[in-house]
Structure 1
Amino acid sequence: MDRRKLLLLGPALALAPFTLAQAAAAPALMLADVYRRGMPLADYWVSEKYDGMRGYWDGKQLWTRGGERVAAPAWFTAPLPAVPMDGELWAGRGRFADTVSTVRDQAPNEAAWRNIRFMVFDLPAQPGDFTTRLAALRKLLPLTVAPWVLPVPQARATTHEDLQALLDKTVRMGGEGLMLHRGSSLYRGERSADLLKVKPYEDAEARVLAHVPGRGRHTGRMGALLVETPEGRRFKLGGGFSDAQREQPPAVGTWVSYRFNGTSPGGLPRFARFLRVRGDIASSSSSS
């Protein structure tokens, strides 16, 4: 097999153990919209946005947001209550790659899983609005027998200035951003302003359609990705890649995250730069 074919197949082969794992329909999870200055904050709770992988506990089994079964060690899941929980599998600030590697492994690495925490921020099956569900969550967690399962700390949001100050502090400490939950919201498996993400830059996700050959110093390797947004818009994503990533680009069909600075009148992102492969979204899944 020639070098170009290896470059194209390498990432796909790396993803195979995860995408071929036992799968079910993707859970209907709340999806976040983007916070913008001027939005009212009076009814929101604010918490840190953890840089990990979305985890859904259905009361018996742990799943990714794309519907793949997570092969966690038995000791990790055995103490969990028979109550659906929505949260983030997280190895700590700045350790997204470690989290993905651990969670995707279908032969669980016991030592690596000791570094994973399940940060729970909602109880999808609990009746009532988010403030009511939060009260129930605080009674349910933490668990003495499972200190790796924790409720996400939540505080009432106040003003935009306070929110920006908290965002700046969180980012300085290595955090990714903040999340806002509307207190009066019911749990609905869709994207809405009931859940907002607050980050120092705009970001989004897109699915890889093709590899665009490079030119100049990138001849012989990937120059850009042709990607498609969940809304069906297509564009070339060519910035933000290391030389190693251009040698082994994200596989066709996978989802990637990118950052950008606003959008054009046609809705395309301006100055889009690659961030990372979203290993927690299956090739056939929709973005969230």
Structure 2
Amino acid sequence: MRRLRALLCGLALLLALPLAAAPPELLLANVYRDEIDPAAYLVSEKLDGVRAVWDGETLRFRSGNRVNAPAWFTDALPKTPMDGELWLGRGQFERLSGIVRREQPVDAEWRQVRYMIFELPGAPGTFAERAARIVALVGAAGLPWLAEISQKITVDRETLRKMLAATVKAGGEGLMLHRADAPYETGRSDTLLKLKPWLDAEAVVVAHLPGKGKYVGQLGALRVRLADGREFRLGTGFTDAERANPPPIGSVVTFRYRELTAKGLPRFASFLRMRQE
């Protein structure tokens, strides 16, 4: 009887726990290819921020988990669903990530964060029309921490190349291209493209390989698995602290690379960060 009561109490506690929100359905970018004509796209800077989706009531990460932002940050947002990046500025990703993932938000830190909008989930019309609506929405809100991501027209590949070079020289990460005539959609598609000097991708950690020489007793490399099941060794890009405390097996890491080998594996792959959400 006691065991039954204990089981029932445990079940009651489980039922009382809040259910985790499902990840929101989002548009995800493919990598820009030289054969694609950029004239059909609007181009913006690729911000090195944390993606966040506002459904009109709650701000969530890509994972569906709630962003613990201060009440003043979210209470003043328009009730219109928005998709964008939480951003501190170029080269500030690590500091930003620490700020927005705290269980207890720090007001002084959040006063530095901006919510940069690039899409209106589910809204009608073409992307060009939605981009104009974003500008109007942000202007009407009049919030210092809410801004639109500027969208520009590019006429040819040479113009796009110059835009990328100027952005990277100024400290930016790269460019995003969004088809101007596209209706709102979700999933991975050529409707949205990313263009960077370095490419990036994600993989699952399947093993820790021991270090040699000065890295004896620490991580030498990660054995990681791509989405298609192929595995490779990721051995560069780690700080001393990351080698002492490497990403756990089963975690998802982001790495960058220059190109693919003849076998389709990343060439010159380098660890970038562990995905937090």
**C-alpha RMSD of matched pairs (Å):** 1.7
Give the letter aligned to residue 179 of structure 2: R
Aligned with 1:116 (options 103, 113, 116): 113
Matched with 1:201 is: 198
Q: Which consecutive aligned stretches of 4+ in structure 1 deviate over 6 angstroms post-superposition?
A: none
Q: Which structure's CA Rg is the greater one? A: 2
Tell me the alpha carbon deviations over residues 244-288 of structure 1, each in whole angstroms, 9 at most, x when there is no partner: 221111222322211112212332111211112222x3xxxxxxx
- In 1, distance between residues paired with 2:67 and 2:103? 7
Which is further off, 172-181 or 203-212? Answer: 203-212
Matched with 1:36 is: 33
Q: In the alignment, is residue 134 of structure 1 matched against residue 106 of structure 2? A: no
Q: What TM-score do you get using the length of structure 1 for normalisation?
A: 0.86
Report the CA distance between 1:144 and its aligned residue.
4.8
- In 2, distance between residues paired with 1:258 and 1:160? 27
Matched with 1:159 is: 156
Which is further off, 100-109 or 204-213? Answer: 204-213
Give the letter aligned to residue 263 of structure 1: L
Q: Tell me, what secondary structure is at the counterpart of 2:266?
A: coil
Gaps of at least 5 residues in structure 1 are 1-20, 282-288
Matched with 2:211 is: 214
Identity %: 49
Q: Is the 8 A contact 1:33 1:195 kept in 2?
A: yes
Which is further off, 38-47 or 49-58? Answer: 38-47
- In 2, distance between residues paired with 1:180 and 1:222? 38
- In 2, distance between residues paired with 1:84 and 1:104? 21
- In 2, distance between residues paired with 1:83 and 1:209? 41
Matched with 1:192 is: 189
Q: In the alignment, is residue 229 of structure 1 matched against residue 258 of structure 2? A: no
**Which residues of 2 match residues 1-288 of structure 1 at below 5 A?**
23-279=20-276, 281=277
* Number of residue-to-residue matches in the alignment: 261
Q: Is the 8 A contact 2:127 2:181 kept in 1?
A: yes
Give the letter aligned to residue 183 of structure 1: A
Greater RCO (Cα-Cα under 8 Å, separation 6 or more): 1
- In 2, distance between residues paired with 1:98 and 1:42? 36
Report the CA distance between 1:143 and its aligned residue.
4.5
Q: Is the 8 A contact 1:22 1:69 kept in 2?
A: no
Q: Is the 8 A contact 1:79 1:145 kept in 2?
A: no
Gaps of at least 5 residues in structure 2 are 1-17
Report the CA distance between 1:195 and its aligned residue.
0.3
Report the CA distance between 1:22 and its aligned residue.
7.4
Tell me the alpha carbon deviations over residues 127-169 of structure 1, each in whole angstroms, 9 at most, x when there is no partner: 1221121122122113454221111111112211111111111
- In 1, distance between residues paired with 2:185 and 2:58? 21
Q: What TM-score do you get using the length of structure 2 for normalisation?
A: 0.89
